[in-house]
């Protein structure tokens, strides 16, 4: 019989197909991916084409060149100019579409997959994300900042160059608010942070843990939304990514590299989305908000059932996902 598991953090019910489920090997990307070159002359993010992204916000230098650049997104859906003005006429409510949208060009190498970056380089990317996270929040029109990465066409991007994105939006979306309200209710009832509790629970159970490093735990959620859905939680309770300490950045870089390597080598470089969920700068001292990373390999597709119910169907048992990834041989 299938199980219906509750994801306590996103409050999503997940049907876990047990007997009729698939095998981990069924999710290995079959299509032969073309080998990407290190440099593509027509790519606006490759070195030599910096004039195509003129609104540079910051860079980490590398001799005459650069290791990481941050630029304004030319194709931002939000306008950087203008006021945050709400309007309201009966059932028609809204506000001006102002906000900040920046791109973090993670590497000069066009084909630099996250799994193949050095820990040092990934640490620099994370440090850059943290700096921009704090800066974007300084804009008084920004209510919430999200950071994400879309990798591959199944994850919603045709851009091959390694990019992460940071968007400061003038509202707090309901999805975020609902999650934080859920964390608050759990805290009210138990006096505990739901994520701190989850870390303890996963470490005691052990069946879904991928990697337990000094400051971070990477694991498959008990009610993973889809096959190989991964969470990385900081072990130290903290409501905001802004609060990450230098030693934690380096540990996260190591953890992230190993976790992404399991996916890259185990599933043949699947498309994925990566989302960093965090409270704002004032949430640092919140007792119930706890920031975290979510990685969703795009190896399965949502169907009408999922869109229509908000439930998810996971065709691979989470414990089987974890067992498979833990045993991936990662070339040195
Ligand atoms: Zn490129
Ligand atoms: Zn916590």
| 325 has pLDDT over 90 | yes
For the cut 90, the answer to whether the pLDDT of residue 19 exceeds it is no
Residue-by-residue DSSP string for 177-229:
HHHHHHHHHHHHHHSS-HHHHHHHHHHHH-TTEEEE-SSEEEE--TT-SSTT-
Largest CA distance in the chain: 62
Mean pLDDT, residues 67-89 taken together: 95
| 241 against 54, higher pLDDT | 241
For residue 156, the CA-to-ligand 1 centroid distance in Å is 17
For residues 63-89, give the mean pLDDT: 95
Closest-approaching ligand to the CA atom of 9: 2
Residue 291 Cα to ligand 2 middle (Å): 8
For ligand 2, the distance from its centroid to the CA atom of residue 135, given in whole angstroms, is 24
Q: Are 132 and 142 in contact (CB under 8 A)?
A: no
Helices (H), 60-152: 119-137
Ligand nearest to the CA of 109: 1
Distance 83 CA to ligand 1 centre (A): 34
- The pLDDT of residue 296 is 94
Q: Region 2-17: what's the mean pLDDT?
A: 94
* d(CA 28, ligand 1 centre) in Å: 26
Which residues are placed with Cβ below 5 angstroms of ligand 1, an ion? 40, 43, 45-46, 110, 161
Q: Is the pLDDT of residue 122 over 90?
A: yes
Phi, psi angle pair for 3, to nearest 5°: -110, 145
Neighbours of 238 (CB within 10 A): 23
Ligand that lies nearest to the alpha carbon of residue 193, given by its number in the listed order: 2
Distance between Cα 187 and ligand 2 center (Å) = 10
- Tens digit of pLDDT for each residue in 284-324? 999 999 999 999 999 877 778 888 998 999 999 999 999 99
- Which ligand is closest to the CA of 200, given by its number? 2
Q: How far is the CA of 193 from the centre of ligand 1 (A)?
A: 42
Whole-angstrom distance, CA of residue 279 vs CA of residue 284: 7
How many angstroms separate the alpha carbon of residue 153 from the centre of ligand 1?
A: 16
- Going by C-alpha positions, the residue among 278, 279, 260 that lies closest to residue 270 is 260
Confidence label for 223 from pLDDT (cuts 50, 70 and 90): very high
CB contact at 8 A, 120 and 257: no
What phi, psi does 162 have (nearest 5°)? -65, 115
Task: Residue 170: name the closest of 103, 76, 249 by CA.
Answer: 76
Closest CA to 259 of 222, 224, 219, 214: 219
- Residue 276 is encoded by which pair of tokens? 């960093």
| Per-residue pLDDT, 306 | 86
d(CA 145, CA 135): 10
Please say whether the beta carbons of 191 and 230 come within 8 A: no
Q: Is 233 strand, coil or helix?
A: strand
Q: Which residue has the higher pLDDT, 303 or 141?
A: 141
Q: Under 8 Å CB-to-CB from 280, ≥6 apart: which residues?
A: 137, 143, 144, 145, 240
* pLDDT, mean of residues 85-107: 96
Half-sphere exposure of 14 (CA within 13 A, CB side): 25
Ligand found nearest the CA of 103: 1
94 phi, psi to nearest 5 deg: 180, -175
Least confident of 22-36, 177-191, 213-227: 22-36
> Which ligand does the CA of 36 lie closest to?
1
Q: pLDDT-derived band of residue 21, with 50, 70 and 90 as boundaries? A: low
Distance separating alpha carbons of residues 127 and 320, to the nearest angstrom: 33
In this structure, the chain runs to a length of 332
For residue 15, which of 3, 26, 24 has the smallest C-alpha distance?
3
- Residue 162 CA: distances (Å) to CA of 22, 122, 270: 31, 12, 14
Pick from 174, 196, 172, 178: nearest CA to 288: 196
Q: How far is the CA of 194 from the centre of ligand 2 (A)?
A: 6
Ligand minimally distant from the alpha carbon of residue 47: 1
Neighbours of 304 (CB within 10 A): 7
- Mean predicted confidence (pLDDT) in 135-141: 97
Ligand 2 (single-atom ion) residues, CB below 5 Å? 193, 195-196, 237, 290
CA of 332 to the centre of ligand 2 (A): 34
**pTM of this structure:** 0.95
Mean pLDDT of 98-103: 97
Distance from Cα 96 to the centre of ligand 1, integer Å: 33
The closest ligand to the CA of 286 turns out to be 2
Q: Calculate how far, in angstroms, residue 193's C-alpha sits from the geometric centre of ligand 2.
A: 5
* 214, two tokens: 């000094």
Mean pLDDT of the chain: 94
């Amino acid at each position: 019989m299938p199980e219906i598991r509750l994801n306590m953090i996103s409050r999503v019910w997940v049907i876990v197909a047990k007997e009729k489920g698939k095998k981990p090997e069924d999710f290995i990307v079959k299509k032969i991916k073309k080998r990407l070159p290190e440099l593509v002359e027509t790519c606006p993010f490759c070195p030599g084409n910096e004039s195509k992204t003129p609104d540079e916000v910051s860079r980490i230098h590398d001799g005459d060149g650069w290791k990481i650049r941050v630029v304004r997104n030319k194709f931002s859906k939000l306008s950087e100019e203008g006021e945050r003005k709400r309007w309201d006429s009966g059932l028609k409510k809204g506000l001006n579409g102002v906000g900040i949208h920046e791109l973090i060009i993670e590497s000069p190498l066009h084909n630099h997959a996250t799994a193949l970056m050095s820990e040092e380089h990934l640490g620099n990317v994370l440090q850059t994300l943290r700096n921009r996270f704090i800066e974007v929040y300084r804009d008084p029109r920004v209510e919430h900042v999200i950071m994400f990465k879309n990798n591959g066409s199944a994850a919603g991007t045709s851009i091959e160059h390694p990019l992460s994105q940071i968007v400061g939006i003038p509202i707090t979306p309901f999805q975020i608010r609902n999650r934080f309200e859920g964390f608050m209710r759990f805290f009210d009832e138990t006096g505990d942070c739901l994520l701190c509790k989850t870390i303890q629970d996963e470490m005691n159970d052990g069946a879904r843990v991928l990697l337990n490093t000094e400051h971070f735990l990477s694991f498959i959620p008990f009610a993973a939304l889809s096959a190989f859905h991964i969470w990385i939680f900081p072990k130290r309770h903290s409501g905001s990514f802004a609060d990450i300490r230098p030693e934690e950045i380096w540990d996260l870089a190591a953890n992230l590299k190993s976790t992404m390597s399991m996916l890259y080598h185990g599933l043949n470089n699947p498309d994925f989305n990566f989302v960093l969920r965090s409270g704002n700068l004032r949430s640092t001292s919140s007792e119930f908000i706890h920031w975290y990373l979510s990685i969703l390999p795009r190896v399965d597709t949502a169907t009408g059932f999922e869109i229509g119910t908000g439930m998810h169907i996971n065709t691979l048992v989470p414990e089987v996902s974890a067992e498979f990834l833990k045993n991936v041989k990662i070339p040195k």
